[in-house]
Structure 1
């Protein structure tokens, strides 16, 4: 029985490490968008990207500390983040619309993985991890909703 418990905790810590890595990459992508946005919606998007980025950054500690609560080790070395992440870092010069679309895709990816990881935690009887992921996925869903609403405008302001 101990081996099964240890195996479950190991799997959960691995999932939490991936979520932690994805969170850092998503944060850095948001900082890029924050710095590189332009055009008629500059002020609104500049502030929105900053707000979303800060909310994402706050998740890092929670994910790392949850790994520690499971007697695991969170990612601590900067070089270990990108290999552990399944979210891709943003590359190149993007149009504003592309930034918004890329952010939406990142949220959709993280939401899918957090759902899967919450199920893994639930199956392992770890309501603490399941609760954390359930709470965090709601932040990603809210960000995705805000960004999708920006694309619904249809006024051409993001097309330059």
Structure 2
């Protein structure tokens, strides 16, 4: 393997590890929102945060295993997740609209990064990882859409 190809593969593995870490942090944030929601939309938001969190969590293993397929090492030690992630853990008690806005911002960060990470995988000739990022980004786009709709109407329930 040439040095350039090794460098490109290393960049792909780094992107996979960051997205794996982002996935776990995003999932844990979703659990916080799920447990902390309240108000007139409690039931709907409680279930939505659970559903979306589970869909995000379901991608975790795919990212880690893809890193292994590329001869990399996935993030495995719990202490390594936060330093590897660009998604920040939710902190403090939040109003419902703040939880929704924070979740939207998380999806926007992941979507932006995955677009760039897909390009990194393409440049490395790694269509498998590019396909994985393309599939996962669609999950985050759908979640962002659902969350943005909660705030769009201005019905004073959460916005």
Pick the TM interval, shorter chain.
over 0.9
Deviations 1:53-76 (A, max 9, x none): 000001100000000010000000
TM-score w.r.t. length of structure 2:
0.98
Equivalent residue number for residue 114 of structure 2: 114
- C-alpha root-mean-square deviation of aligned residues, in Å? 0.8
| Shift of residue 153, structure 1, vs aligned partner | 2.5
TM-score w.r.t. length of structure 1:
0.97
Number of residue pairs the alignment of both structures matches: 159
Equivalent residue number for residue 52 of structure 2: 52
| Shift of residue 105, structure 1, vs aligned partner | 0.2
Structure 2 CA distance, aligned partners of 1:120 and 1:152? 34
Structure 2 gap ranges (5+): none
Equivalent residue number for residue 74 of structure 2: 74
| Structure 1 stretches of 4+ moved >4 Å | none
Structure 1 CA distance, aligned partners of 2:152 and 2:3? 51
Question: What aligned pairs does 1:92-111 form with structure 2 within 5 A after superposition?
Answer: 92-111=92-111
1:157 to 2:119 alignment: no
Q: Counterpart of 2:49 in 1: which secondary structure? A: helix
Structure 1 gap ranges (5+): none
Structure 2 CA distance, aligned partners of 1:90 and 1:123? 34
